[in-house]
A = this chain, B = another copy of it.
């Protein structure tokens, strides 16, 4: 796989400081409406700040004669191989066909990814061992907890191909950002500019939020009119001194 990482360290840091909500707006301005992995929640909201390149795992439905306990002894099994091969700093994104009736992964494998420096994991299905995951300092996003082992409904079929996850296309290398609200995926070629714009938007929105808490009306403030824009720029010039 191509592991050239075009997102700069500075912008990677910026993405850790912006919300997924702000990112959807920055991407909407670039013509992208569908940028959010729909229907997933953080298992451990306190750990939910995730930025990394997408490394994908694709499941298809299980078939009784193929998906037996013995498959896990094979080191080329895509799920098991993926856990050991995903580069540090990447996010594993799993296409589970929005089927949470069996788990996409569980405590031991996810702990292994954490130990390897992986940035997080997202599935549009479920995780097992969620009581353990809730206290693991590692970002995990799923539709819901799901105790059954993945073989019961899922067959891991390949790694690092473009997939669907939560009704969103995810391409390997896309930048995956998660917070306590959910997960947004930024096409790789837009990552740097989006990070910069979102960071600027966040500064402005924090300033707006403070004004609103002071009792100011949103009219003319959000979105800003000429005068608000000038006021913000003055404040910004001031505060950066």
- A interface with B by C-beta (< 8 Å): 19-21, 23-25, 28-36, 38-39, 41, 45, 60-66, 69, 72-73, 75, 80, 83-84, 97, 99, 101, 103, 106-109, 111-112, 115, 128-131, 134, 144-149, 151-152, 155, 157-158, 161-164, 167-169, 179-182, 184, 187, 205, 208-209, 212-213, 215, 217-219, 222-223, 225
On chain B, the residues within 8 Å of A84 by CB distance are: 217-219
Q: Determine if B80 and A149 form an interchain contact, defined as CB atoms under 8 angstroms apart.
A: no
On chain B, the residues within 8 Å of A60 by CB distance are: 162-164, 169
Q: Give the docked Cα–Cα distance between A162 and B33 (Å).
A: 22
With beta carbons under 8 angstroms apart, the residue of B33, B45, B164, B223 that contacts A72 is B223
Q: Give the docked Cα–Cα distance between A86 and B204 (Å).
A: 26
Complex: chain B residue closest to A30, CB-CB? B65
With beta carbons under 8 angstroms apart, the residue of B61, B108, B217, B223 that contacts A209 is B108
Say how far A209's CB is from chain B's closest CB, in angstroms: 6
Q: Give the docked Cα–Cα distance between A241 and B98 (Å).
A: 47
Q: Which of A28, A111, A218 has the most CB of B within 10 A?
A: A218
Say how far A232's CB is from chain B's closest CB, in angstroms: 14
On chain B, the residues within 8 Å of A80 by CB distance are: 218-219
Q: Determine if B61 and A24 form an interchain contact, defined as CB atoms under 8 angstroms apart.
A: no
On chain B, the residues within 8 Å of A134 by CB distance are: 180
Copies of the polypeptide in the assembly: 6
Q: Determine if A157 and B152 form an interchain contact, defined as CB atoms under 8 angstroms apart.
A: no
Q: Determine if B182 and A146 form an interchain contact, defined as CB atoms under 8 angstroms apart.
A: yes
With beta carbons under 8 angstroms apart, the residue of B75, B107, B115 that contacts A215 is B115
On chain B, the residues within 8 Å of A145 by CB distance are: 41, 181-182
Q: Which of A45, A146, A187 has the most CB of B within 10 A?
A: A146
Q: Assuming A187-B65, A223-B73, is B164 touching A106 (CB within 8 A)? A: no
With beta carbons under 8 angstroms apart, the residue of B20, B21, B97, B144 that contacts A164 is B97
Q: Give the docked Cα–Cα distance between A97 and B169 (Å).
A: 12
